[in-house]
Structure 1
Amino acid sequence: MRLQPQVPEPESIGFLLLPRFAMVAFFSAIEPLRIANRISGRTLFHWDVISRDGGPVTASNGMPLAATWSLQDAPETPSLAVCASFAPEQALDGELLEWLRSRARAGCVLGGMDTGCFALAAAGLLDDQTVTLHWESLPEFRARFPGIEAVESLYEVSAEGFSCAGGSSAIDMSLDLIARRHGNELAALVREQLVHDQGRLPASRQRHVARPIGDADPMLDRAIALMETHLEAPLGIQALADELGLSWRRLERLFERHLGQTPRHFYLERRLAHAHQLLIDTRHSVMDIALASGFASASSFTRAFRRRYGLTPSQLRQR
């Protein structure tokens, strides 16, 4: 994934698997490389799978995946992707962070998949870079690392590093690598084998609100984007309407027509979903998560959370 015009064949890429990594992102990254090798009739790409101790790593879906190297004996590679998903920071310690720093000092270009950038940021390796990660984890990442520019794109690639949001965005990032190294024609043939849409641009949005096929409204997208950027300090519905240049009544009709619910209810659902993710992925206190989700007190947050999920925030963490 390094941006250099000439690379040896095969080009080696390391994949460091953290506990509960996203298996779909990992396979989405390596399958295009495998197919490129098959179509070309040459080994254009080689990958090394690394875990802390060289043993299997259990993915977020509960399936173990064998690694081929430990941190101590892993070969140096031109690039290395940190593969993570839920609660990435729970896997980090001084040994792993120093190992990442040593790779960077050796000239390895480092990247993150899904939430892998948490590890790189904790190691101090993302200065002056623009990164992306899964949209659910973007608010927490921005709060933890305010000095790093984190955007909601599919993937980011530069001479300094790379990152993708996970899921199928890893396919797009690997196709981009294939095109840069071996031309658009090979990348197109690989995409065809994957039955993948025409190449999506890196800056494409990660997600679209679920609604009936063919039912789209740019104004609704703008309204939801405003909500997403004001989870900690929620806008009132009238203030939201004013920002959009709409009447309160028209905004209500917009949400009812496309989503079958009021903007107030939709906004609350978004805030609670954000809180749910923070409860799973972080060790922040219930009060801190309440404030980060726009609630003035832990008690009001707990009541709303129980109504939505049928259990309290503390009970969720005990499961």
Structure 2
Amino acid sequence: MVKEVDKREFSRVMRDANSAFIALDEEKCKTIRVGFVLLEHFSMMAFTAAMDTLVTTNLVRSAPLFTMSTFGLYSSSVKSDLNLNISTDFTIEDLIIDDYVSMDAIIICGGYRSSLNESVHLSAKLKLLDKKNIVLGGLWNGAVALAHTGLLNHKACSVHIDNHAFIKEHFPYIYLSEYVFKIDGNYMTCADPNSALEMMCVFIESCFGGDTVRAIREILMCNQVENNNEATLMKAADDPAFPDTLRNILQLIKSNIEEPLQPHEISSYVGLSRRYIERLFQTHLATTPSRYYLELRITHARRLLLQSNDLIGNIAVASGFHSTTHFNHCFKAYFGLSPSQIRKKYRCEPF
């Protein structure tokens, strides 16, 4: 008789790092359809920042949460601000066909050289979408296209600083926000590429919660700026808000994965009592030192499984497990799949 493996859940910090490999309830979630209308000379950097955030959302979850499509105004080829011709999936004629709306959210992508003149055809489409309660957004000066429709009247919006004078002159009923991005009801706008990423993170959090956004940030924002303005890689769980004592312990643990330290050894190295260390972990990580240590080793093993051809037995040893049987049991308890199964499922190409 095969013994059933006890199911275990990762604590919050390690859950973010492993979320793409854990079977969650995404299958029950509605996939959100996001369309990007690309204006001539749109900012490629702002567009890719927003798009990459959605793509990464799908990567950190076990089922896709977003589908993305691109739209041109009148043709399926649009010139970006880099003078690259970008092929789009559709034109705006395809946004609404026989009263069927093909998207759940539409984002207008502008750029420094994008025209601020109204496209009457686009305005008509946006007004129809608004009546159907579709989320509408603008990147860079994409908000100007929304402004032409009157939908932003008495609403707050963010737009590139170069367009503030234009907005004030032509749309006096719009409240220009001092912030780089703004979400006001069903309207979301941002001023530049960096704020495009942040705006999309807030949008994603409103749809799927903070855990999803934390997992996205771990991939897209794995750096922190030190006092000398040089960016360094952000280590897992190395929150600058953590006390130095906890950060030292986390670094000590990370440096001893293959030969895990015993609790009394950690206590001796850092000169703190075991009880005090346990309180630090509960306060800042909502877990115990031993559980954090195990989950860090399991995460280390998962990365080696997918990023190398090493034998599973060797990976077990490299992750601090001296028994392959024990390693398999712990791994399956967290991921619901054995090490060999998860390697087969997620590693598409051989090394």
% identical equivalent positions: 23
> Is residue 13 of structure 1 aligned with residue 30 of structure 2?
no
**Residue of structure 2 in register with 1:114 after alignment:** 140
Return the offset for 1:158: 2.8
**Residue of structure 2 in register with 1:33 after alignment:** 54
> Could you report, residue by residue, the CA deviation over 1:52-74 in whole angstroms, capped at 9, with x for unpaired residues?
13411111111122111111123
**Residue of structure 2 in register with 1:302 after alignment:** none
CA distance in 1, matches of 2:222, 2:189: 20
Q: State the secondary structure of the residue aligned to 1:43.
A: coil
Return the offset for 1:80: 0.9
- Contact 1:191–1:197, Cα closer than 8 Å, also in 2: no
Relative distance call for 1:132 and 1:197 in structure 2 (3 A) is farther
Partner of residue 158 from structure 1, selected from 184, 203, 209: 184
Partner of residue 171 from structure 1, selected from 166, 180, 197: 197
Q: State the secondary structure of the residue aligned to 1:81.
A: strand
> Could you report, residue by residue, the CA deviation over 1:277-297 in whole angstroms, capped at 9, with x for unpaired residues?
xxxxxxxxxxxxxxxxxxxxx
Give the counterpart letter for 1:140 in structure 2.
F
* Worse-superposed segment, 15-24 or 130-139: 130-139
**Residue of structure 1 in register with 2:79 after alignment:** 58
**Residue of structure 2 in register with 1:46 after alignment:** 67
Give the counterpart letter for 1:105 in structure 2.
K
- Contact 1:55–1:66, Cα closer than 8 Å, also in 2: yes
**Residue of structure 2 in register with 1:226 after alignment:** none
CA distance in 1, matches of 2:52, 2:229: 29
Relative distance call for 1:112 and 1:197 in structure 2 (3 A) is farther
**Residue of structure 2 in register with 1:183 after alignment:** 209
CA distance in 1, matches of 2:201, 2:222: 10
Return the offset for 1:140: 2.2
Partner of residue 150 from structure 2, selected from 124, 140, 149: 124
Structure 2 alignment gaps of length 5 or more: 1-27, 96-100, 231-351
Give the counterpart letter for 1:59 in structure 2.
S
- Contact 1:13–1:45, Cα closer than 8 Å, also in 2: yes
- Contact 2:31–2:65, Cα closer than 8 Å, also in 1: yes
Q: State the secondary structure of the residue aligned to 2:151.
A: coil
- Correspondence 1:258-269 to 2 at 5 A: none
Partner of residue 73 from structure 1, selected from 88, 94, 97: 94
Q: State the secondary structure of the residue aligned to 2:157.
A: strand
RMSD over equivalenced CA pairs, Å: 2.3
Relative distance call for 1:8 and 1:88 in structure 2 (3 A) is farther
> Could you report, residue by residue, the CA deviation over 1:170-227 in whole angstroms, capped at 9, with x for unpaired residues?
11111112222222222112112113568xxxxxxxxxxxxx969xxxxxxxxxxxxx
> Could you report, residue by residue, the CA deviation over 1:51-109 in whole angstroms, capped at 9, with x for unpaired residues?
11341111111112211111112353222111111344456332222122122122212
CA distance in 2, matches of 1:96, 1:110: 12
CA distance in 2, matches of 1:196, 1:151: 28
Relative distance call for 1:169 and 1:196 in structure 2 (3 A) is farther
Relative distance call for 1:90 and 1:132 in structure 2 (3 A) is closer
- Contact 1:89–1:118, Cα closer than 8 Å, also in 2: no
CA distance in 1, matches of 2:132, 2:204: 24
* Worse-superposed segment, 96-105 or 15-24: 96-105
CA distance in 2, matches of 1:196, 1:92: 40
CA distance in 2, matches of 1:104, 1:73: 16
Q: Size of the alignment, in residue pairs?
A: 195
Give the counterpart letter for 1:177 in structure 2.
F
Give the counterpart letter for 2:198 in structure 1.
D
CA distance in 1, matches of 2:186, 2:212: 25
- Contact 2:157–2:184, Cα closer than 8 Å, also in 1: no
Q: State the secondary structure of the residue aligned to 1:42.
A: coil
- Contact 2:94–2:102, Cα closer than 8 Å, also in 1: no
Partner of residue 165 from structure 2, selected from 135, 139, 142: 139
- Contact 1:51–1:71, Cα closer than 8 Å, also in 2: yes
Q: State the secondary structure of the residue aligned to 2:193.
A: coil
- Contact 1:89–1:119, Cα closer than 8 Å, also in 2: no
CA distance in 2, matches of 1:137, 1:154: 13
CA distance in 2, matches of 1:104, 1:51: 19
Question: Following superposition, which runs of at least 4 residues in structure 1 exceed 6 angstroms of deviation?
Answer: none
* Worse-superposed segment, 111-120 or 90-99: 90-99
Relative distance call for 1:50 and 1:77 in structure 2 (3 A) is same
- Contact 1:76–1:103, Cα closer than 8 Å, also in 2: no
CA distance in 2, matches of 1:34, 1:148: 32
